[in-house]
């Protein structure tokens, strides 16, 4: 990474989200930047583009992964949940142990790939209790907190809101709103999920609306940050739009593209 800049020199940060196991490209994501920002979803539980990749097919095989993707894509969530429950029943009381072991393996690889400095927050498929165990000194984990980079203030809010998918780090709307409120006025508001705007939350491949945050949208309108940066929606209808004075940007599906989004000022 480039050395930290000061005085009249410009600052450049690279931003990634939805890494989902792409450690190879993550190791190069900070090249040429003063800092890397990661907006979460390091874990690859199931790759919807390649059903042979991820924790689920490692445990249950590709055919079962094909089936659960088919059910979820059709929004048959109750059937998907029942199908998954039957598979997990075969593992029995070892389910939590098996998941944690697989996640730990991925986290060891992901966190080792982070350059210094990295500022990161959680995605909805992440397991926050494990992050501080794997975060090395050059990685700062933030959730409902602020940090200064190059003279600008960045606020971070991680996680997602409750959905029928029941991913690991989904929280109540009120808890999420409290974290948004705690961040307050910032230059750049960094979240995993987007504000609740139809064009930003609709996934054109999955053909469904993901959950965005109304509290985030209200905060953008009220506090007017320069930028709102987020991920979560892998193939959004719109990747970038203005809300008042704020440029709202989906920084991209890093697992698929391997390319960070760049911000320079």
CATH of the domain at 65: 3.60.21.10
Q: Is residue 223 part of a domain?
A: yes
**pLDDT > 90: what percent of the chain?**
82
Residue 4 binned pLDDT confidence (cut-offs 50, 70, 90) = very low
236 CB neighbour count, 10 Å cutoff: 24
Question: Given a cut of 50, is residue 118 above it in pLDDT?
Answer: yes
Q: Is residue 109 part of a domain?
A: yes
CA atoms within 13 A on the CB side of 246: 25
Q: Is residue 5 part of a domain?
A: no
What pLDDT does residue 7 have? 55
Q: What does the pLDDT look like over 158-193, one tens digit per residue?
A: 999 999 888 999 999 999 999 999 999 999 999 999
Q: What is the pTM of this model?
A: 0.91
User: For residue 148, which phi and psi values (nearest 5 degrees)?
Assistant: -100, 130
Task: Extract long-range pairs of 240-244: CB within 8 Å, 24+ residues apart.
Answer: 241/197, 241/199, 241/200, 243/195, 243/197, 243/217, 244/220
Total structural domains in the chain? 1
Give which of 186, 185, 126 is closest to 154, Cα–Cα.
186
Alpha-carbon distance 156 to 235, whole Å?
22
Q: Is residue 264 part of a domain?
A: no
Domain of residue 191 covers: 13-256
Query: What is the 3-state secondary structure of the chain?
Result: CCCCCCCCCCCEEEEECCCCCCHHHHCCCCCCCCEEEECCCCCCCCCCCCCCCCHHHHHHCHHHHHHHHHHHHCCCHHHHHHHHHHHHHCCHHHHHHHHHHHHHHHHHHHHHHCCCCEEECCCCCCCHHHHHHHCCCCEEECCCEEEEECCEEEEEECCEECCCCCCCCEECHHHHHHHHHHHCCCCEEEECCCECCHHHHEECCCCEECCCEHHHHHHHHHHCCCEEEECCCCCECCCEEEECCEEEEECCCHHHHCCCEEEEC
Angle at 193 between CA 209 and CA 106, to 5 degrees: 110
Q: Is residue 27 part of a domain?
A: yes
Q: What does the pLDDT look like over 133-161, one tens digit per residue?
A: 999 999 999 999 999 999 999 999 999 99
Q: What average pLDDT does range 122-135 have in this prediction? A: 96
120 CB neighbour count, 10 Å cutoff: 27
Instruction: Please give the mean pLDDT across all residues of the chain.
Output: 94
Give which of 42, 177, 55, 196 is closest to 121, Cα–Cα.
42
Q: What does the pLDDT look like over 32-90, one tens digit per residue?
A: 999 999 999 999 998 888 899 899 998 999 999 999 999 988 889 899 999 998 998 88
Q: Is residue 233 part of a domain?
A: yes
Q: Is residue 6 part of a domain?
A: no
Contact 230, 251 (CB under 8 A): yes
Residue 5 binned pLDDT confidence (cut-offs 50, 70, 90) = very low
Q: What average pLDDT does range 245-249 have in this prediction? A: 98
């Amino acid at each position: 990474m480039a050395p930290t800049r000061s005085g009249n020199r410009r600052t450049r940060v690279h931003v990634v989200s939805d890494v989902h196991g792409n450690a190879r490209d993550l190791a190069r994501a900070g090249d040429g930047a003063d800092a890397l920002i990661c907006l979460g979803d390091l874990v690859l539980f199931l790759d919807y583009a390649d059903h042979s990749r991820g924790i689920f097919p490692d445990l249950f095989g590709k055919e079962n992964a094909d089936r659960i993707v088919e059910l979820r894509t059709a929004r048959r969530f109750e059937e998907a949940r029942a199908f998954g429950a039957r598979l997990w029943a075969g593992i029995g009381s070892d389910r939590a142990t098996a998941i944690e072991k697989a996640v730990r393996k991925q986290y060891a690889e992901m966190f080792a790939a982070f350059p210094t400095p990295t500022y990161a927050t959680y995605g909805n498929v992440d397991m926050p209790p494990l992050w501080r165990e794997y975060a090395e000194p050059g990685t700062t984990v933030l959730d409902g907190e602020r940090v200064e980079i190059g003279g600008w203030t960045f606020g971070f809010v991680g996680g997602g809101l409750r959905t029928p998918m029941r991913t690991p780090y989904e929280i109540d709307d009120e808890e999420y709103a409290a974290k948004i409120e705690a961040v307050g006025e910032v230059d750049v508001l960094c979240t995993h999920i987007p504000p609740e705007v139809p064009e930003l939350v609709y996934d054109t491949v999955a053909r469904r609306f993901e959950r965005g945050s109304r509290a985030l949208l209200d905060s953008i309108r009220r506090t007017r940050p320069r930028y709102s940066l987020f991920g979560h929606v892998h193939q959004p209808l719109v990747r970038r739009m203005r809300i008042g004075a704020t440029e709202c940007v989906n920084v991209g599906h890093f697992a698929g593209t391997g390319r960070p989004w760049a911000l320079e000022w």
